Amino acid sequence: MRELASHVWPRGAERGGAGELMLGGVDVRDLAQEFGTPLFVLDEADVRSRARAFRDAYADAGASWVFYAAKAFLSVAVARWVHEEGLGIDVASGGELAVAMRAGVPGEALLMHGNNKSMAEVQMAVEYGVGRIVIDSFEEIARVAEAAAQAGVVQQVLVRATVGVEAHTHEYIATAHEDQKFGLSASGGAVEEAVRRIAKLPSLTLVGLHSHIGSQIFDAAGFEVAAARVVALAQRIYDEQGIEIEELNLGGGMGIAYLDSDDPLDVQEMAGQIGDIVAKACAEYGITAPRLAFEPGRAIVGPAGVTLYEVGTIKPVELDHGQVRTYVSVDGGMSDNIRTALYGADYTITLASRVSEAEPMLCRVVGKHCESGDVVVRDAWLPGDLAPGDLLAVAATGAYCRSMASNYNYLPRPAVVAVADGGAREIVRRETVEDLLGLDVAT
């Protein structure tokens, strides 16, 4: 229970002499004291080193850009860290774009996604000089063309192709079509038609194709099928329209370890395999190998983040057959981590404020919301002497936790604190009830 598996916890995580968890050289008891709980703690050196690892590994594999997928978690500080480490940023809304702009990330390092970008969002992107807008529908071709014409610029675009491959962890499903809202079908002629329309519009220039097959992917098998289909599509476009696809963006989705038993391919290995896969597909279809681009989100911030909670109540509940389930309630829950309730996600949790020699007990760690599905960790082994006031730490919560947080039950969303070299600084402050009341304008 005390051990911190190095592939699950941030790289700077260790135990101090009293069993306390140290993150980036900082005692989490001090963090809880100073910033309160629940608290998101992000190890800056870890984020930076993962960003660098992605940049280097994917550059070796033929990528000219690695865009950090901001939806995983974005703040001004994080935008600066990843950009300083050589990454661009993939934004999927005007709000995410505004954060990247405030961080001073230049337009050429940005790429914009979204299946229903508003005209205002498109204009904001075009006016800021966002390097690439990913076209997701026919309506959008006209909208982006109009915004670019109005701004007097030629906007670079990619067309998002759905290739009938859905990947998750080590499984993937390949079909002819994909029944989902993103992109245009690679098999029904829609992408070719989009390319034809874009070529006729003087305010647009096509730089390439885009394909994203899913999230939390552990191996390259899904990418192999997707790359073959998108390369075949590039060849058809070249044959029929004489247009060369210069850039291939294969999206994100590289998985991380939430549990000790999770074993995703390491960055270098995954990058190498994907690079080889694309090279092989291009040789097979006889097209010039395009520049590659990728959009990892989770794999950059996920493992670098930890959530700290304080234990509030401990309740043994008698089940049938005389068994007892111990419910441990913490001071957050589904408002700061919806992933357990939404996806049945599993997390690693540990006692973070002290050492305990007590026998482990199997318990369910739950939040404080008015809902029985408000579970943080469904089955957790924690010391039998766990008590109110103890601090618990949940690993690998850097991605899709704060960014998907809500104010359910009017809970203010937690702060995000960056730790580095033994110091801590707040990068997103905790919301207050006043912040929430400020939105209610009824008199």
Please give the positions annotated as active site: 370
Options 55, 298, 368, 430; binder of ligand LLP; rule CB under 6 A:
298
Q: Residue 251 interacts with ligand LLP (CB under 6 A)?
A: yes
Distances (CA, A) of 250 to 59, 85, 116, 223: 14, 21, 20, 8
Options 400, 413, 419, 427; binder of ligand LLP; rule CB under 6 A:
400
Distance CA 392, CA 352 (A): 5
* Smallest gap from residue 403 Cβ to ligand LLP (A): 8
The answer to whether residues 360 and 273 touch, using CB atoms and an 8 Å cutoff, is no
Distance CA 360, CA 271 (A): 40
Instruction: Measure CA 31 to chain center.
Output: 25
* Smallest gap from residue 338 Cβ to ligand LLP (A): 8
Amino acid at 177: H
Q: Residue 223 interacts with ligand LLP (CB under 6 A)?
A: no
Give 305: exposed, middle or buried? Use CB within 10 Å, 0-12, 13-18, 19+.
buried
* Smallest gap from residue 68 Cβ to ligand LLP (A): 9
Stretch that binds ligand LLP, among 12-20, 22-30, 212-220, 264-272 (CB under 6 A): 212-220
Instruction: Measure CA 427 to chain center.
Output: 18
* Smallest gap from residue 200 Cβ to ligand LLP (A): 26
Alpha-carbon torsion (357, 363, 364, 366), positive or negative: negative
The answer to whether residues 307 and 393 touch, using CB atoms and an 8 Å cutoff, is yes
Q: Residue 215 interacts with ligand LLP (CB under 6 A)?
A: yes
State the DSSP string of 246-269.
-EEE----B---SSTT--PPPHHH
* Smallest gap from residue 204 Cβ to ligand LLP (A): 20
Q: Residue 41 interacts with ligand LLP (CB under 6 A)?
A: no
Stretch that binds ligand LLP, among 27-35, 290-298, 354-362, 388-396 (CB under 6 A): 290-298
* Helix segments in 152-296, DSSP class H: 190-200, 221-241, 267-285
Distance CA 176, CA 181 (A): 15
x/- contact string, 129-168, with ligand LLP (CB under 6 A)? Answer: ----------------------------------------
- Of 93 and 216, CB closest to ligand LLP: 216
- Of 69 and 265, CB closest to ligand LLP: 69
- Of 351 and 399, CB closest to ligand LLP: 399
Alpha-carbon torsion (175, 176, 179, 180), positive or negative: positive
- Of 43 and 96, CB closest to ligand LLP: 96
x/- contact string, 67-96, with ligand LLP (CB under 6 A)? Answer: --x-xx-----------------x------
- Of 89 and 148, CB closest to ligand LLP: 89
* Smallest gap from residue 397 Cβ to ligand LLP (A): 10
Options 296, 303, 305, 414; binder of ligand LLP; rule CB under 6 A:
296
Token code pair at residue 213: 């097959």
- Of 90 and 336, CB closest to ligand LLP: 90
Distance CA 8, CA 285 (A): 40
* Smallest gap from residue 86 Cβ to ligand LLP (A): 17
Q: Which helix (H) or strand (E) holds 141?
A: helix 138-151
Amino acid at 259: L
The 10 Å Cβ neighbour count of residue 161 is 27
Interface residues with ligand LLP (CB under 6 A) are 69, 71-72, 90, 113, 212, 215-216, 251-254, 295-299, 339, 343, 400
